[in-house]
Structure 1
Amino acid sequence: MQEFYRLQFLFFCEQSNYPVFGPQISSLNMEKTLTFQHVSYLWDEAQAAALAGDEVALFIYRSNLLGADLRLTNYAGGNTSVKITETDPVTGEQVPVMWVKGSGGDIGTLTKAGCANLYVEKLHQLKNRYRGLEHEDEMVELFNHCLFDPKCAAPSIDTPLHGLLPFKHIDHLHPDALIAIAASQDGEQIMRDIWGDSMAWLPWQRPGFDLGLQLEKVVQENPGLRGVILGGHGLFTWGDTSYESYMNTLEVIEQAAAYLASNYGKNKPVFGGVKLSNGPDAATRKQQAAAIMPTLRGLASGHRRMLGHFTDDARVLEFVNSHDLARLAQKGTSCPDHFLRTKIRPLVLDPAVMSQPLAEVKTYLQEQFEAYRQDYAAYYERSKHANSPGMRDANPVIILWPGVGMFAFAKDKQTARVAAEFYTNAINVMKGAEAVSTYVGLPEQEAFDIEYWLLEEAKLQRMAPPKSLSGKVAFVTGGTGGIGKAICEALLQQGACVVAADRADLDETQTDLRKQFGKDSSLAVGIEVTSAEGIAEALRQSVLQFGGVDIIVNCAGLSISKPLAETTQADWDILNDVLVKGQFLVSQAAVEILRQQALGGDIVNIASKNGLVAGPNNVAYGTAKAAQLHMSRLLAAELGPDKIRVNTVNPDAVLRGSKIWEGAWAQGRAKAYGISVEELPQHYAKRTLLGEELLAEDIAKAVRVFVDGSLSKSTGNVLNVDGGVAMAFVR
């Protein structure tokens, strides 16, 4: 039976006048073009030569290059494939197998583990099972029965779009330049003006098996094509080799971009011309954005806590400052990848109202958010089907402020950043479409059917549950030191984004944290905790990076151990300035942001066992630590109505990795106890009830417990992490 199907598949190829993997674009000029102006040529001959003979490796290489240029496709957008022959593990025969990007992957970071691989013949045999557009969803489950390796990545909905075409190497991308043509009222004619009969057009259709059949048909009926444009959606191109496919893709996109560039401003001003010509400068824009971002974040977090992203990219400013902003924004986006990330429409703010006093602006924003939610709910009610999933978060993802820029809010920082990138792509699409024709957004019902597709819902349901601190931002002073960095790492492990604020080791810390937890996870900023202005700037950078702040950890500190007679006024001043005044100033500035968000929050102060125990030669340090401890109680009493919890962690003698134990402090404590510095770890461990040495990670775990929801109804409390020191018992 398998041989019958194999022969049937080969017969199908012969009747279609093209071989399984044979030459398809040999008539095209495939000479190397290295002078692209609108796309990046990244192919490295030496690197490709090292992969020669491994078609899958070359396909991965090509995919990564295409994904590295956001002008070619969006993050996690598009897909690529290669068809090769493999040995069937059951029959031992050589069979055609397609490797294709799996569901949810990103071609820019694609690896073999992220690919699905399927029997090509079985994909064609699914034509016998296809029951029409009303039954598209059932085909996705059938893809699993076509897998060559049952352990490979899950196939995506675009699998038949690659599998039913005969070409060996295929690229399906969402380049701004091509979508601009695909989303133009006169897109099909523009395509013919640029490429003649070498490209074909398919009107908008939701991805699925039927679209794969339509692609197959148009290729059969138009031999010699170099690609197909999917109306409102994207581009399909191909080649006999990985390099030829890469070049064909680049050349088509380059030609489209060049055509658009030649038309910008030719017949009409870009976006109808500039409406706001005297906007603020870059520094002022960022100040204005930081001032309002916590309020926006609080409003956007009505369904779940969100993180933010701000950009005043020149492309964004050109759009938001234009006459056509309102008209085009209302039309919504066109490419499915765009509106799945951004919602179909943004919230556009009135710059005149946004320049009013803060109280009026807050009222205005509350009204605008409520109007947006009602409009989204009406869209849902108009468009829903009997089996549609329930309405999701009705808050806007993209917010446009003319004169200032664009805000994006999503469940995590990466998603917010990517949403902003996608809407920037949508702006590019609108700009191009309007330059050569009239921009056409996706019909509302089609948009809804994509957004609330049952397959999309199933994908959302399969996602891992959020970690305990997902959606939260922690600001840790002393964040590059031993205890501070350990706290940063503990909070990052639970899904938080972290700002490590300190005086030194900023670049090293940021590089290390991002290497461990991803480039969107963390930020290192300079801070002097005794300077209100410096604190405000550090928090401003945090707000611009993440949208706000939720957790404040006052960990910055220093230690001086001297008897009373040797303690100078300078010793006293610096200890109280850094430990007491620093904790006060950071908390004061952060609480302003927490109140603006109206989402509650946490302040955790790292004090010391010395705040409770009268140790020898420690008058200045112990007094400052006691002040920190009592300030925490006072703040807890004051901030409770704002749902801001304030708690204290009291460490004792964390020697390994702690900067305060370097140099004079360790020498002073050793002198006080009449021992050597080398004997300190054993001395401190022996005097505890548990006989354990304390580590920075132990302090970090205590902080995590206070903020991860485990003690959500605890405030004003003290948690000693000292191995058990009876003199430090609070009661």
Structure 2
Amino acid sequence: MTTPDTVAELIARSNRLGSDPRNTNFAGGNTSAKGTGTDPVTGQDVDLLWVKGSGGDLGTLTEQGLAVLRLDRMRALVDVYPGVEREDEMVAAFDYCLHGKGGAAPSIDTAMHGLVDAAHVDHLHPDSGIALATAADGESLTQKIFGDRVVWVPWRRPGFQLGLDIAEIKRSNPQAIGCILGGHGITAWGDTSEQAEANSLQIIRTAEEFIAANGRDQPFGAELPGYRALPESDRRAKAAALAPFLRGLASTDKAQVGHFTDTPAVLEFLAAAEHPRLAALGTSCPDHFLRTKVKPLVLDLPADTSVEECKDRLTELHEAYREDYRAYYERYASADSPAMRGADPAIILIPGVGMFSYGKDKQTARVAGEFYLNAINVMRGAEAVSTYAPIDESEKFRIEYWALEEAKLQRMPKPKPLATRIALVTGAASGIGKAIATRLAAEGACVVIADLDAGKAQAAAQEIGGSDVAIGIAADVTDEAAVQAAVDATVLAFGGVDIVVNNAGLSLSKSLLDTTAADWDLQHNVMARGSFLVSKAAARALIDQKLGGDIIYISSKNSVFAGPNNIAYSATKADQAHQVRLLAAELGEYGVKVNGINPDGVVRGSGIFAGGWGAKRAAVYGVAEEDLGEFYAQRTLLKREVLPENIANAAFALCTSDFSHTTGLHVPVDAGVAAAFLR
């Protein structure tokens, strides 16, 4: 078979298998194909292995995500294999088997794919397959369900020896289409790509059908009184009230981003009598517990318990969890084990409410939750037909603190300056607000774009990077309930909030005599009242998290400079400027910094100027509207036009560690207006 056909078929098969969550979890499992390629040096044909590289995802796999190895060299490693105690050395040896530039980094499962004598191999983590793999009598169930077509493989840590074991099973069982890997997943093979895929799906669907037909009712036990899911509105309100506090707990060792889910499967699990026992047993598949930790933190209170009572109990449970994790580490760590990475939970389960999951960014947090949902499905299947019996705790530790896993973590790129930080920016669908949101996201923050126009906010969020980076929401900052809803949406989307940018604004350029009370009220409601409401609602979350934070006011040069025909706008900007001082004095004890930015003359890209303000200011100064930006530039000391990106630069700088000791500051971004110098 030619190389293009082999690779194209492998990619297509991988994408089909990986796009269905019944077949494997995100970034879990791997697929491979063997075929012929051309040696770039000799021009001769060579036998090659294409296999999904380390860290890739089957559902979105492309050719760039494949590792490519010389099959003869890889199989020659059998002759130099030093044994299971030193098998980690074999991963480094894969680098000497690469073909050409090698493609992606080979994964730990590469040996399985190269040593099994089949042209196409799939290793997957389906919930149904892992349910059998973690059943107490999984071996007998496998024989009962599949006969000799699928072979049971006792638990073995992924690596070269597991590859040898499965290769021997394939040789000894020519009738077999695959195997169940105890505690882990499935492997299937075929002479063609179509046959391998069909065999994988046959194992997965047969296991699903057996569990469905033979599983007992209520595998998680009867419903616990008081643990039934709260009504949706009450559930999400309680989740929003708890989210910042929980994120603070989960970030004790290192700041985390959060994700919330209240899917029926999670709520059903938490309402059942057996959930404390099962949760304590922890997850089994290595892909699961590497992302979820060995077990979750579970609140042991009924669904209708008050938020404050929940917080008190969670504080106790969190300390117990940390002590338990430290004890787990100390039980199994050796002199050469990596240092403990942190004792906080990655999964927190709240009966009646749902699941909170945590990670270094939104995607990691979301995927951790998806993996625990996989684990719940596995527990359900195993308990339905047997008893859930995950791998031993000592084996979990061996993988969690595996030198190869540590090496993978050390290869991760250095986090961006605002990684793990969550920003709420008002008036962010255009102009200065959008520029700030874009810059914060580019520097690693998760961003909530709040704007009166939900459609524009969502479009801006999509442009910035999608739901793992930014979301867009509707928010009228003059409405207290709407402001609280915006903060709730922020903490439910990303776990909490760290940066608040009060940017929403408008302006009406009128003289004193032409300014109506309605004009005055409108501008004060949006900017002075709106900033107050947003800061107040966000401050509750910031204080609850105990992680500090930043509140930034986009004020104006006009807050200190008196100009004509501008009384309502300038007065409300002065109000905002003094809010900065007042809140800096009040919130400092919580580690929250409050600073302001005073722009001037931001014409290009400005929603305010485009809304008629520009034409009126141009008329006041006697210049054409299209020349207003240049007019403003020429009246500055630096003779530079101020752009939205310049304001965004200042907002970013104020949020960095470089300004960790700065609060109550007003930063002029006006290219130098001497009359607006702060005194």
Displacement of 1:224 in angstroms is: 2.4
Aligned partner letter, 1:602: D
2:363 is equivalent to residue 419 of structure 1: no
- In structure 1, distance between residues paired with 2:561 and 2:147: 85
State whether residues 52 and 58 of structure 1, in contact with CA within 8 Å, keep that contact through their aligned partners in structure 2. Answer: no
SS at match of 2:99: coil
Q: Distance in 1 between matches of 2:470 and 2:391?
A: 36
Counterpart check, 1:70 vs 2:18: no
Q: How many Å separate the matches in 2 of 1:678 and 1:544?
A: 43
Of the three residues 80, 86, 89, the one matched with 1:138 is: 89
Counterpart Cα distance in 1 of 2:102 and 2:157: 28
Map 1:263-342 → 2, pairs under 5 A: 263-265=214-216, 268-276=217-225, 278-342=228-292
**Normalising to structure 2: TM-score of the pair?**
0.98
Given candidates 465, 473, 477, the residue that maps to 1:525 is 473
Contact 1:543 1:549 (8 Å CA) reproduced: yes
Q: Give the aligned residue type for 1:338.
A: H
Counterpart in 1 of 2:163? 212
1:694 deviates by: 1.3
Supply the distance in 1 between the matched residues of 2:387 and 2:305 (Cα, whole angstroms).
35
Could you say which residue in structure 1 is the equivalent of 2:674?
726
One-letter code aligned to 1:562 = K
Tell me what 2:320 maps to: 371
Post-superposition offset of 1:359: 4.3
Structure 2 stretches lacking a partner, 5+ long: none
Preserved contact between residue 557 and residue 676 of structure 2 (Cα < 8 Å): yes
Structure 2 residue aligned with 1:716: 664
Aligned mates of 1:269, 1:76 — CA distance in 2: 31
Q: How does 1:13-412 map to 2 (within 5 A)?
A: 54-265=5-216, 268-276=217-225, 278-352=228-302, 355-412=304-361
Aligned residue type for 1:246: E
CA distance in 1: counterparts of 2:16 and 2:458, whole angstroms: 27
Match in the other structure for 1:44: none
Q: Which moved more, 1:247-256 or 1:535-544?
A: 247-256
Q: Aligned residue for 2:520? A: 572
Identity of aligned residues (%): 52
Between 268-277 and 303-312, report the one with greater CA deviation: 268-277
Partner of 2:547: 599
CA drift of 1:190 comes to 1.3
Whether the aligned pair in 1 keeps the contact of 2:555 and 2:576 (CA below 8 Å) is yes
Q: 1:541 deviation in Å?
A: 1.0
Equivalence for 1:697: 645
Find the counterpart in structure 2 of residue 502 from structure 1: 451
**3-state SS of 2:605 partner:** coil
Task: Tell me the TM-score normalized by structure 1.
Answer: 0.91
1:532-611 alignment, distance < 5 Å:
532-611=480-559
Distance, in Å, in 2 between the alignment partners of 1:723 and 1:518 is 34
- 1:469 maps onto 2:405 in alignment: no
Equivalent position of 1:35 in the other structure: none
Contact 2:238 2:307 in 1 (8 A): no
CA contact under 8 A between 1:500 and 1:525: conserved in structure 2? Answer: yes
Deviates more, 1:198-207 or 1:669-678: 669-678
Q: Counterpart amino acid of 1:630? A: H
8 Å Cα contact 2:228-2:271 kept in structure 1: no
Are the counterparts in 1 of residues 132 and 141 from structure 2 also a CA contact under 8 Å? yes
d(CA) in 2 for partners of 1:515, 1:84: 41
**In 1, distance between residues paired with 2:287 and 2:560?**
58
SS in 1 for 2:35: strand
Question: What is the CA deviation profile of residues 309-329 of structure 1, one whole-angstrom value per residue up to 9, with x for unaligned ones?
Answer: 111111111111111111111
Partners of 1:351 and 1:403 within 8 A in 2: no
Q: Which residue of 2 aligns with 1:434?
A: 383
Judge which range, 447-456 or 636-645, deviates more. 636-645
CA contact (8 A) 2:278 2:379 kept: yes
| Partner Cα distance (2:102, 2:551) in 1 | 46
Residues 246, 423 of structure 1: CA spacing in aligned structure 2 closer, same or farther, 3 A cutoff?
same
C-alpha distance in 1 between matches for 2:328 and 2:4: 52
* CA shift for structure 1 position 358: 4.5
Q: Give the direction of change, closer, same or farther, for the CA distance of 1:676–1:516 in structure 2 (3 Å limit).
A: closer
Residues 89-128 of structure 1 deviation map (CA, whole Å, 9 limit, x = unaligned): 2332211100111111111111111111001111110011
- Unpaired runs of at least 5, structure 1: 1-20, 22-50
Q: Cα gap change, 1:663/1:492 in structure 2, threshold over 3 Å: closer, same or farther?
A: closer
Distance in 2 (CA, whole Å) between partners of 1:627 and 1:345 is: 50
Residue by residue over 1:506-537, the C-alpha shift from the partner in whole angstroms, topping out at 9 and shown as x without a partner, is 34543453454343111111111111101011
Distance across 2 between alignment mates of 1:238 and 1:510: 44
Q: Superposed, which structure 2 residues align to 1:660-671 within 5 Å? A: 660-671=608-619
Structure-1 separation of matches of 2:233 and 2:264: 14
The answer (yes or no) to whether the contact 2:301–2:310 under 8 Å persists in 1 is no
Which of 428, 439, 462 lines up with 1:479 in the alignment?
Answer: 428
The residue that corresponds to 1:40 in the other structure is none
> 2-side partners of 1:369 and 1:150: how far apart?
47
Corresponding residue for residue 13 of structure 1? none
Letter paired with 1:288: K
**Alpha-carbon separation, structure 1, partners of 2:62 and 2:140:** 38
Report the 3-state secondary structure (helix = DSSP H, G, I; strand = E; otherwise coil) of the residue aligned with 1:148. strand
Find the aligned partners of 1:213 and 1:513 in 2 and give their Cα distance: 49
How far 1:191 moved relative to its partner? Answer: 1.4
Where does residue 489 of structure 1 map in the other structure?
438
**Structure 2 CA distance for aligned equivalents of residues 210 and 185 of structure 1:** 24
One-letter amino acid of the counterpart of residue 638, structure 2: L
Q: Which amino acid aligns with 1:58?
A: E
Superposed displacement of residue 221, structure 1: 0.5
**Cα separation, 2, equivalents of 1:316 and 1:398:** 12
CA separation of 1:130/1:53 partners in 2, compared to 1, >3 Å: closer, same or farther? closer
Please give the alpha-carbon distance, in whole angstroms, between the structure 2 residues aligned to 1:399 and 1:435.
Answer: 24
Q: 2:634 aligns with which of 679, 682, 686?
A: 686
Equivalent pair of 2:450/2:457 in contact (CA under 8 Å): no
Q: Distance in 2 between matches of 1:475 and 1:541?
A: 10
Aligned length: 678
Shift, 1:676, TM fit: 2.0
1:445 to 367, 390, 394: 394
The alpha-carbon distance between structure 1 residues 278 and 216, as it changes in their structure 2 partners (threshold 3 A), is closer
Following TM superposition, by how much is the alpha carbon of 1:264 offset from its aligned partner in structure 2, in angstroms?
A: 3.2
User: SS at the partner of 2:196?
Assistant: helix
Residues 376-434 of structure 1 deviation map (CA, whole Å, 9 limit, x = unaligned): 11111111122111111101111111222111122211111101100110010010011
The answer on whether the counterparts of 1:651 and 1:699 sit within 8 Å (CA) in structure 2 is: yes
- Structure 2 letter corresponding to 1:54: D
